[in-house]
Amino acid sequence: MSRVTVGQENSAPIEIYYEDHGSGKPVVLIHGWPLSGALWEKQVTDLLRAGHRVITYDRRGFGHSSKPASGYDYDTFTEDLHKLVTALDLHDFALVGFSMGGGEVARYFGKYGSDDVSRAVFMSAVPPFLLKTADNPEGVDGAAFEGIKAGVLADRPAFLTQFLANFFNVDQLGGTLVSDQAVQLCWNIAAGASPKGTLDCVTAFSSTDFRNDLRRVDVPTLIIHGDADRIVPLPVSAKRTAEIVKGSKLITIEGAPHGLNWTHASKVDPELVHFLG
């Protein structure tokens, strides 16, 4: 397994697992919560076919990466990403963030600027700022995120079943655009994540303000979102991100749920390949 060491916890190194395939212009794919880089499989196939070098990795606490007790905040996540990019000596690379991964894309520009970054993609992404506050009245009420934390703490496996049903809009798309087996695969991946990381990430993706980070995005930018997203509603996320990032292009996929990179890959992937090409 390919790994990059990004820190140390007591006697053990903190390692980020990654996969690096193909050749051509690099594309770094950043997964959502509480899954792993494995959920990019449809995009990896199509991007490799289009002639890209494709890098996926597992965020700390998830997938095959180390599962430390700390570091579940966007500054640390983005430092992990930067250490991976540096270790692989990537140049002229694109950053593609799904859901929570969109936060790393935004914060990367906020912390490191656009040197060596050629393009940015936000897919079902959480920016600009999910939490409703006095200066962010368009956000989601904090009680919703407290409910997520309570569900994770009370019975994480049961919570994951409910979450994934809404992740894929299974009541509407199950058996057609997403199979029971695909949902089970996601449950297996999510159940293997760090319980501490799963919980702490809720605070990270709900309460981190990316508005200033987005103002530093100065490369061609694509925003893809489903209009039936129950996890990260389109009006509070993609539409607002498109208003902040100058010159960005917003593509709304009709009837698509949060997990549109799986259910609507036939529509998402051609747009992604065209934009990155």
**Structural domains of the chain ordered from first start:** 2-276 (3.40.50.1820)
Average the pLDDT over 7-23 and give the result: 97
pLDDT digits (tens, 9 = 90+) for 143-161: 999 999 999 999 999 999 9
Choosing from 229, 237, 264, 269, which is the catalytic residue? 229
Q: Is the pLDDT of residue 80 over 80?
A: yes
Choosing from 36, 65, 99, 206, the catalytic residue is: 99
226 DSSP β-pair partners: 253
Is 171 an annotated catalytic residue? no
The C-alpha atoms of residue 113 and residue 77 are separated, in whole angstroms, by 16
Residue 52 catalytic?
Answer: no
Provide the 8-state DSSP code for 59: P
Average pLDDT of 217-223? 98
Q: What angle do CA 193, 197, 202 make, to 5 degrees?
A: 115
Task: Give the span between the Cα atoms of 35 and 58, in whole angstroms.
Answer: 8
Q: Based on the residue annotation, tell me whether 258 is a catalytic residue of this protein.
A: yes
Q: Tens digit of pLDDT for each residue in 227-272?
A: 999 999 999 999 999 999 999 999 999 999 999 999 999 999 999 9
CB 177 within 8 A of CB 264: yes
The radius of gyration computed from the CA coordinates of the chain, to the nearest angstrom, equals 17
The H or E element containing residue 241 is helix 238-244
Percent of the chain at pLDDT exceeding 90: 100
The answer for residues whose C-beta is within 8 angstroms of residue 188's C-beta and 6 or more apart is: none
Which of 230, 169, 248, 210 has the alpha carbon at shortest distance from 74? 210
The model scores a pTM over 0.95: yes
Please identify which of the residues 31, 64, 225, 258 carries the catalytic annotation.
258
